[in-house]
Structures are given as structure tokens and as C-alpha cells.
Amino acid sequence: MEILSNIAGGFATVLTVQNLLFCFAGVAMGTFIGVLPGLGAMLGIALLLPVTYYLTPEAAIIMLAGIYYGGEYGGSISAILINVPGTPSSAVATLDGHEMTKQGRAAVALFTSAVASFAAGSVGIVLMMLFSPLIAQFALSFGSLEYFSVLLLGLVGAASVAKGARVKALLAVVLGVLLGSVGTDISTGVQRYSFGVPEFITGISLVALAMGVFGFAEIVSSSEGTAGAHGKARIRLRDMVPSRAEIRASLGPFRRGTAVGAFLGALPGTGPTIASFMAYSLEKRVSRDPGRFGKGAIEGLVAPESANNAAAQTAFIPTLTLGIPGTATMALILGALIIQGIQPGPRLMVENEELFWALIASFWIGNLFLLILNIPLVGLWVRLVRIPYRFLFPSIICLISLGVYSVQLSPFGVFVVIGTGMLGYGMRVVGIPAAPFLMGFILGPPMEENLRRALMLARGDFTVFVTSPISAVCVLLASAAIVWPTMTWGYGALKRRRRV
């Protein structure tokens, strides 16, 4: 019952005109920044951070958190409509989401994405309310060993996040892992492939790379053809609501996506981006008809959308209960708390109880705002696609450049976008898919880092990967994922031969 009174207290704090206003401002700005490719929640939070000096701690954190999870909603809008993800975590929404747009079902895709996001976000919030300390304790049972095995599972599934030839997808993963190795090696301090360029010391920026291979490359290849505009002029509610069959098909992916997202979000070493990719690859694997994926299957949109929003909420659990931020954006939010004179750590939930519950209450209100904001806007967004490409695409390139420039105030990021954009275009020409490439880039470096650390801590003993229970399960699943298709293929081949 204590939780009920706590949450009631939280709502009482949030339901002041001032806090509601900051919550709305946060989520609205988050959506907007999320929609614009290259501008992410991180930039929005960094920009507004100086403003929070003049706010109460509650208002400050409510607004900044709103930008964060609002960005997860917004990022998929541009992914679905123009095949350019607003944020790296929505890159996977381009696969089936944009296919739906091409089939003239953009409104359905946007509506589904908003509803799935809201529902998954709500599940994340409930988990946070009820089990925060427990989940935090569970997250602490993950060491380098367990992280390696979970990431291995992700990498094994990486090649399935694509349509077309399997070999090319595998090649893309390998390319991604290789590019991810640029920068200083964590374990030894040796610089790899930095060629004496100081900007490469910390590696290639994920945002710049994602904007290059997805955004820049998409724009270059679209400008080749005479791709026409998609979408209707007027959207009614009837056009947005998915069919009954689609709703039924979405329930399973929603449940699995939310579970994957809530789990990976709560681990400080993973997050929304990895969650959305892994949810997609899981969905494709359990599907009875994986051939539909990448051709506008609603399951391929619902699963990653649920995953990244559930993860965006559960990511607050280690941040607030342990004082351990999982992502750079979470670290920024902790920074905002420190500016307010609140030291995040294990005592935050006790010493700043009111703030903690107010934040949770604000999550719910913020997600509700997002749902209310996004559904009427579907009509407006869909019309965005009707802007002639000769106006739309140059503006997107400008926005991407502006976004990556502003992170470091240096043109270097823009050159990286151009460079990776050319690479991405080249990959398209030869049919190497971008999504597994990005996944290799994201998963490779932490996998290597955790593998070496785990072996160091075990003093070189490889058996630890199968003697630790969590790791053993992941390694088993990963091996099954590799062996099973090979076996069914072998069995099929055998059967064919017998028939001859």
C-alpha cells in the first residue's frame, strides 16, 4: 500500500501547472528533436541543461526526462516516413515501417508505432514502480562475462535484421564490427586505425555513422530515381487504425518486444538501440513466415517500437537506484541532478523520495501527452512526405550536418557523415544491407571489451562462459541459433537427395 501512497504523492507533485507545463514542453521538444534526423535527445538535453539552473529539481528532471523518452517516439516517425531514422535506436523501424509507407499505409504505421510505444512505455513504468530495487540488484549480477554472452546472442541475430541474401548480411555485420574497432583499445590504450587524427581517438561517432549510412545514403539513392510522393492528402481516424487481423498479429510481438526492451534497458551496459535490434531479430526468428519481414510486416514494426520505449523507461532504474547511468544521455540527466545539488546514488530513492515518485508519475503523464500529441499529428506528418523531394532532401542533409556539427562544434562530424554516407551508398549499390552493419558497429566494441575483461578476471579460463548460469543460457541459445538453421538446411538437403 505504501506504493499507492507514494505514487499518489508523486502525482500530487506533478499535477501543478508549472510541472505539467515543463513535462509537456519536454515531451513536445523531445518528439520534435527526435523527428529531425541527426538531432537527438542528447543534444536537446545538453541545450536545455543551462536553463534548468533556474528551475526546481522536479521541474528540471521532469523536462529533461521528457526530452529523452519523447525522442524515442519522434525518432521512428522520420524512419517510417522518409526511411531516415531520427535517432540510431529507430534505425530498425525503417525496415518494415518504411515499407508500409511505400504501400500507402503510413498512417497505420505511425498510429501503431505511437500506441505500441505508449503501451510498452507504460509496462516499463509499472516495472519501475514495483520492482526498482529488485531489478537494480538483478542488473548488478551482470558482469563482463554475462554482458559478453548477451551481446554475442545479439550479434548472432544481427544478420537476420535485413532482407535479401544472408551472406551479404553477414558481411555487413563483419564490416560494422571492423569499423567499430576504430579508436583507442580499452584494454591496452593502443590506438587502432586513428591515423594520427585526434578526433578518431575515441572512435567514430555512432550518430554520425547512423546518419551517414541511413540518412545520407538514402537521400543519394532516392535522388537517382523518380520516386514519387506517398500518402494521401487527408487522413481520417479510419485510415490510421490497423485492421483486426493486424492487431491480433501485433500482440505477440508487442509482448516479446516489451520484455526484451525492459530487460536490456535495465542493464546499464545495453540500451534502447540494442534492444530494438534484438527485438526485431527475435521476432523474425519466432515468426512462422519470416519471409514477410522487410516487406511491411506490422510485427517488424511493433516489436522494435515496443522494445525501445520499454528500454527508455527501464533505463532509469539503474540510473536512479544505483547512480549508474547506462548511456551518455542518462549520464547527462544525472549531471542535471548534480547541478541541482542532488547526488545520485543508492540513497536517492530514500533521501529524495518525493522527487523519485514525482518523476515516475511524470513519466506516465508524459507518455499520455505523447500519445495525445502524436495521434492528431499523424495527419500532419504524413503530409510531410508530400513535400517534393527537391525541397525535403536538401533540408534533411542540412539538419543532419547541423546536428553532428553541434555536438563537437567542429566540421569533423560532417566529414564523417559524408564519408560513411558514401560507404553506405556503395553498400546499397552492391546490396549489402545497412541495418546489420549498424548492429555490428554497435555490438562489436562492447563485445570485445567485455570478452577480454571477462578472460582477464578469470585469469584466462575460457570455461567461465559455460559455468556461469546466465552466460551459459545465452551461449546455448546463441549456439542453437547457429546450429539449428544449418541442421534444418542439412535435413532438407538430405530429403531432396533421397527423393532423387
Residues that bind another protein (CB under 8 A): 45-47, 49-50, 53, 140-144, 184-191, 196, 198-199, 201-202, 268-269, 318, 322-325, 328, 331-336, 338-339, 341, 343-348, 407-410, 446, 449, 453, 456-457
Q: In angstroms, give the least distance from the CB of 134 to another protein.
A: 15
Q: How far apart are CA 14 and CA 231, in angstroms?
A: 39
Q: How far apart are CA 310 and CA 305, in angstroms?
A: 9
| Residue 280 or 412 with smaller CB distance to another protein | 412
Q: In angstroms, give the least distance from the CB of 305 to another protein.
A: 28
Place of cell 509499472: 126
Residue 263 grid coordinates: 530487460
Residue 400 grid coordinates: 543532419
| Residue 410 or 467 with smaller CB distance to another protein | 410
Q: In angstroms, give the least distance from the CB of 168 to another protein.
A: 31
Q: How far apart are CA 237 and CA 313, in angstroms?
A: 28
| Residue 323 or 419 with smaller CB distance to another protein | 323
| Residue 296 or 413 with smaller CB distance to another protein | 413
Q: In angstroms, give the least distance from the CB of 414 to another protein.
A: 14
Q: Which one, of 451, 129, 99, 117, lies nearest residue 295 by Cα?
A: 99
Q: In angstroms, give the least distance from the CB of 402 to another protein.
A: 16
DSSP class per residue in 401-441: HHHHHHHHTSTHHHHHHHHHHHHHHHHHHHT--HHHHHHHH
Q: In angstroms, give the least distance from the CB of 453 to another protein.
A: 6
Q: In angstroms, give the least distance from the CB of 336 to another protein.
A: 6
**What CA–CA distances, in Å, run from 437 to 69, 185, 215, 251, 314?**
25, 20, 14, 29, 26
Residue 460 grid coordinates: 584466462
- Cα–Cα–Cα angle for 131, 151, 419, rounded to 5 degrees: 120
| Residue 53 or 484 with smaller CB distance to another protein | 53
| Residue 200 or 381 with smaller CB distance to another protein | 200
Burial 437-476 (b: 16+ CB within 10 A, else e): bbbbbbbbbbbbbbbbbbbeebeeeeebbeebebbeebbe
Q: How far apart are CA 325 and CA 74, in angstroms?
A: 22
Residue 318 grid coordinates: 539503474
| Residue 54 or 391 with smaller CB distance to another protein | 54
Q: In angstroms, give the least distance from the CB of 157 to another protein.
A: 23
| Residue 100 or 151 with smaller CB distance to another protein | 151
